Amino acid sequence: MSAQVPAQQSASSATSADVADLYKEIFTGQQKALEVVSTDRLTQVGARPPISTYLGQLWGRRYFLWAEARAKVTSGTRETLLGQAWLVLNPILNGLAYYLIFGLILNTSRGIENFLGYLVIGVFLFQFTTQCVTNGAKSIQSGRNLIRAFTFPRASLPISVVLRSILNLIPTIAAMLLIIVLLPPAESWSPAALLFPAVLVLQVLLATGLALLFARMTTVLPDIGQLIGVGMRIWLYASAVFFSVDRFKEFPSIVGIMEANPMYMVLDAARDCLLYATVPDAGTWIGLGAWSVGALVLGFLFFWQGEESYGQA
């Protein structure tokens, strides 16, 4: 009996030691692995980040945005027989229709040197702005399911629309230049034509700002999306796409309003560079630069302010 007692005491002490070791492993060991996280390091999902962080997030997704734009441009004409040829045929057919109506039937070509080139530049370039504004305005609503499923800077959606329009514009510009050079009265290039890419850059900035602006406006008031088509049509006529502003020289106030129109500045500068071998005057560059940069900055800030509201019911 006396030999069994020490054995029982030894087993009991061993069990106590094991329990103590287990206790230390569970509680003391876990405490070493725990990390206290400050609430300052936590961020709300979908919250609007600082503007510098937001710009960095957009820049980090630039390759994805470009690849996504290229994929959608290709898929948009995949089911047609002519495929991507429609990227060129659509603006050409539109230009032909406008030429028949305004050039031949309504005879708005009076007083315009090389009316065909004048009209083609106006129709092709204005179509780019129209695509950016109308499709950019729908970008948040059409991407609502994507917004709810993933976290990303929402400005990616209207910017992606602009990138797709730029890719559509490349073959359009090539067709436009061929029409100007090959069809009578054929134009020859001058050093002023080298400034045409600068005009395009300013137009892209203007269109991007408007796409961002209307993308948020349509989320606040969806009815605006129904009015954009009418507004763009009015803007088309107010930009002297089919006629010269000289038709209104007896009404200086009307001429002044039209010349202050940023799309009129785009078209006027492009025509000077490509048709009339003339460098656009300083007032055009200053006015168009102010419109383009101002629209981009205001449109971006306005869109960024509503970042947390996108995708909500």
Tell whether the model's pLDDT for residue 308 goes beyond 70.
yes
pLDDT attached to residue 12: 52
pLDDT attached to residue 121: 92
pLDDT attached to residue 141: 87
Task: Supply the mean pLDDT for the chain.
Answer: 82
Predicted confidence band at 142 (pLDDT cuts at 50, 70, 90)? Answer: confident
How far is Cα 212 from Cα 132, in angstroms, rounded to an integer? 9
Predicted confidence band at 207 (pLDDT cuts at 50, 70, 90)? Answer: very high
pLDDT attached to residue 211: 97
214-247 pLDDT, tens digit each:
999 999 888 898 899 999 999 998 998 888 888 8
Q: Tell the residue number behind the tokens 């030999």, with chain if given.
A: 3
Residue of 158, 143, 155, 137 lying closest to 218 (CA atoms): 137
Predicted confidence band at 163 (pLDDT cuts at 50, 70, 90)? Answer: very high
pLDDT attached to residue 83: 62
How far is Cα 271 from Cα 27, in angstroms, rounded to an integer? 79
How far is Cα 77 from Cα 151, in angstroms, rounded to an integer? 30
Helices (H), 196-307: 196-220, 224-238, 252-259, 262-274, 282-305
**Percent of the chain's residues with pLDDT above 70:** 78
* Mean pLDDT of all residues in 94-107: 74
Contact between 126 and 239 under an 8 Å Cβ cutoff? The reply is yes
Q: How far apart are the first and last CA of the chain?
A: 80
How far is Cα 3 from Cα 224, in angstroms, rounded to an integer? 96
